[in-house]
């Protein structure tokens, strides 16, 4: 039998290995310890933390739940809450954090900083979209610990989601002042300032946008890898033929919005390069190729940077160019084009399903799934969008790429709904189809940017306290003159938005006298 002193020594060594990032060594020591003493609660808990760091599927919860079975402990409940949050099990994460807080309050001899448990309770509530409850929890954390940087930052996010962006800025600033290493807070300062139109003030903070690029499990983004040439910050180039490489980042919608700055960059440089994602390549060739021969599109980043003088992340261009709301119109606002032959093909197809005089309206009701929480907030369920598609005086043209069955319309479609998206390979094809439409109605997704940048009329269905680029509660967009925005007045309420939209359709396309 292994002596208790040996058990204690193994556990201490495992702890040291874990906190030194020696997870393999810690795992081996803990497995040996648990073979000798299967109900060592501390070892079971630590084994769960090792599984969490190693991303062992299902492993972390298994070990921590075993530890809790042996000895209920607020620390163990806190760890279980974190595991559940990262797994997207937010309701379970709320339950575990609350159970840990209850245990800590009723069993005061169990020592734990309850602000840690309360903070994780706030995170679980926030990610479960219970913003009012999350707000109260974060305020309770700050009442106990006013210099909790993470609580200030998350409270700012919650307040923004509840519609108070100015209060959000205050808390993000406080979070960053308390902890200058909290770059997510600095990124959020930038996002919130952009949302209220303070562009010039916002851009330097927006440079840390990568820190807020999280997912639906509470994890955050990583700093981009450094490049061997300096970032262009707007300074005059050192020679007339200097070359700038623009680096693609984030999503297709961002690229479609920010490629408007390519011509302005060409005003400063002899040539400009861009690593263009394949789904955008033909569209950008059609749109920029003939007009801007000094713009070069590449499949990837350069293997050899010696031909390039500097680089710019794509979303950093407006900072370098000194763009604010007052001079945003110095960049083109109608800058994307459909290929003429492809557009003629889809125009002929549309003529077969929509006679002359019948409005041809494109429709997109759901976003992608890069971030499940954001996707849920900005998307409209097919059952709800069916109310709009029942409006009889249009031929509805689906522009929706359904990445899962839950977003697909029921089959068969009504006669006034046409779906050719299985024939659409990339954004050049989508642009060609959009070119022949009278109107595009879309939630906040890349197709809205595409159609608006082509100069088409776009009616945007915008979630409450939506993305910074649509500002706050505006019915129009300084980015796209042809856009009309229908904003939610309450979180998650698409019913009123669709009612207003149908009234607008009635006014825009009145029934013709027979």
Tell whether 375 and 326 lie within a shared domain: no
> Does residue 98 lie in a domain region?
yes
Domain interval for residue 140: 4-212
Tell whether 250 and 349 lie within a shared domain: no
Tell whether 168 and 123 lie within a shared domain: yes
> Does residue 272 lie in a domain region?
yes
Contact 188, 212 (CB under 8 A): yes
Whole-number pLDDT of residue 1: 40
Tell whether 93 and 161 lie within a shared domain: yes
Tell whether 208 and 252 lie within a shared domain: no
CATH number at residue 126: 1.25.40.10
The two structure tokens encoding residue 200: 């010039």
109: number of CA atoms within 13 Å, CB side?
1
Average pLDDT of the segment spanning 60-86: 95
Residue 57 confidence (pLDDT) above 90:
no
DSSP string, 455-499: T--EEEEE-TT--GGGTTT-SS-SS-TTEEEEE-SSTT-HHHHHH
Tell whether 360 and 305 lie within a shared domain: no
Whole-number pLDDT of residue 412: 84
CATH number at residue 358: 3.40.50.2000
Contact 437, 457 (CB under 8 A): no
> Does residue 381 lie in a domain region?
yes
Whole-number pLDDT of residue 96: 97
Contact 484, 475 (CB under 8 A): yes
Q: Which of the 8 DSSP states describes residue 281?
A: H
Closest CA to 148 of 113, 129, 174, 122: 174
Tell whether 253 and 201 lie within a shared domain: no
Count structural domains, the chain: 3
Contact 332, 263 (CB under 8 A): yes
Whole-number pLDDT of residue 413: 83
Any idea which of 104-113, 158-167, 344-353 has the lowest mean pLDDT?
104-113
Round the average pLDDT of the chain to a whole number and report it: 93
Tell whether 351 and 322 lie within a shared domain: no
Residue 328 confidence (pLDDT) above 50:
yes
pTM passes above 0.95: no
CA distance 407 to 183: 35
Read off the pLDDT of residues 236-257 as tens digits, 9 standing for 90 and up: 998 889 999 999 998 999 999 9
> Does residue 235 lie in a domain region?
no
Read off the pLDDT of residues 105-139 as tens digits, 9 standing for 90 and up: 887 666 678 899 999 999 999 999 999 999 999 99
Whether the upstream peptide bond of residue 412 has omega within 30° of 0, thus cis, is: yes
Tell whether 411 and 498 lie within a shared domain: yes
Residue 414 confidence (pLDDT) above 80:
yes
Residue 370 confidence (pLDDT) above 80:
no
At which of 300, 330, 360 does a domain end?
330
CA distance 147 to 174: 9
> Does residue 298 lie in a domain region?
yes
CA distance 502 to 168: 34
Tell whether 288 and 425 lie within a shared domain: no
> Does residue 238 lie in a domain region?
no
At which of 330, 361, 379 does a domain end?
330
> Does residue 237 lie in a domain region?
no
Read off the pLDDT of residues 477-504 as tens digits, 9 standing for 90 and up: 999 999 999 999 999 999 999 999 999 9
pLDDT band at 179 (very low <50, low <70, confident <90, very high): very high
Neighbours of 421 (CB within 10 A): 15
Tell whether 136 and 265 lie within a shared domain: no
Closest CA to 152 of 140, 142, 137: 142
Tell whether 277 and 380 lie within a shared domain: no
> Does residue 49 lie in a domain region?
yes
User: Three-state DSSP class for 302?
Assistant: coil
At which of 330, 365, 392 does a domain end?
330
Residue 215 confidence (pLDDT) above 60:
no
Average pLDDT of the segment spanning 217-224: 62
Neighbours of 376 (CB within 10 A): 16
Residue 276 confidence (pLDDT) above 80:
yes
Q: For the chain, what is the largest distance between any 2 Cα atoms, rounded to a whole number of angstroms?
A: 96
Average pLDDT of the segment spanning 321-327: 97
Contact 276, 307 (CB under 8 A): no
CA distance 487 to 466: 9
Query: Which has the higher per-residue pLDDT, 4 or 294?
Result: 294
């Amino acid at each position: 039998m292994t002596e208790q002193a040996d058990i204690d020594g193994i556990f201490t060594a495992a702890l040291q290995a874990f906190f030194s990032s020696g997870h393999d060594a810690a795992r081996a020591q803990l497995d040996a310890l648990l073979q000798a003493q299967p109900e060592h609660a501390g070892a079971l808990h630590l084994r769960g933390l090792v599984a969490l760091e190693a991303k062992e599927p299902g492993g972390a919860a298994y070990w921590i739940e075993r530890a809790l079975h042996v000895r209920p402990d607020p620390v163990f409940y806190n760890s279980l809450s974190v595991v559940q949050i990262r797994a997207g099990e937010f309701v379970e994460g709320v339950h575990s954090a609350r159970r840990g807080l209850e245990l800590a309050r009723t069993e005061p001899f169990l020592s734990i900083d309850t602000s840690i448990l309360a903070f994780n309770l706030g995170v679980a509530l926030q990610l479960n979209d219970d913003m009012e409850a999350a707000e109260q929890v974060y305020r309770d954390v700050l009442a106990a610990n006013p210099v909790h940087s993470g609580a200030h930052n998350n409270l700012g996010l919650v307040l923004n989601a509840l519609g108070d962006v100015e209060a959000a800025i205050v808390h993000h600033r406080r979070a960053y002042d308390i902890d200058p290493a909290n770059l997510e807070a600095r990124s959020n300062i930038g996002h919130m300032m952009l949302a209220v139109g303070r562009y010039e003030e916002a851009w330097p903070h927006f440079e840390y946008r990568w820190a807020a690029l999280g997912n639906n499990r509470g994890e955050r983004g990583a700093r981009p890898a450094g490049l061997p040439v300096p970032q262009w910050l707007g300074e005059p180039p050192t020679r007339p033929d200097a070359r700038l490489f623009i680096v693609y980042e984030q999503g297709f919608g961002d690229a479609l919005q920010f490629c408007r700055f390519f011509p302005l960059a060409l005003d400063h440089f002899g040539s400009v390069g861009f690593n263009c994602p394949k789904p955008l390549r033909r569209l950008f060739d059609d749109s920029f190729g003939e007009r801007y021969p000094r713009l070069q599109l590449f499949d990837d980043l350069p293997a050899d940077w010696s031909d390039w003088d500097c680089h710019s992340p794509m979303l950093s261009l407006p900072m370098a160019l000194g763009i604010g709301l007052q001079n945003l119109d110095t960049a083109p606002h109608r800058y994307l084009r459909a290929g003429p032959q492809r557009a003629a093909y889809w125009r002929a197809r549309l003529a077969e399903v929509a006679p002359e005089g019948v409005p041809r309206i494109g429709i997109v009701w759901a976003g992608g799934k890069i971030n499940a929480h954001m996707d849920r907030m900005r998307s409209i369920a097919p059952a709800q969008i069916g109310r709009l598609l029942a409006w009889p005086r249009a031929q509805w043209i689906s522009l929706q790429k359904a990445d899962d069955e839950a977003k697909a319309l029921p089959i068969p479609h009504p006669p006034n709904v046409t779906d050719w998206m299985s024939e659409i390979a990339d954004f050049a094809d989508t642009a060609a189809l959009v070119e022949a439409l009278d109107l595009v109605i879309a939630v906040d997704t890349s197709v809205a940017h595409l159609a608006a940048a082509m100069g088409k009329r776009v009616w945007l269905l915008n979630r409450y306290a939506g993305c910074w680029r649509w500002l706050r509660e505006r019915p129009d967009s300084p980015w796209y003159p042809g856009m009309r925005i229908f904003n939610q007045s309450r979180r998650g309420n698409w019913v009123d938005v669709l009612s207003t939209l149908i009234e607008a359709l009635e006014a825009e396309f009145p029934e013709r006298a027979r």
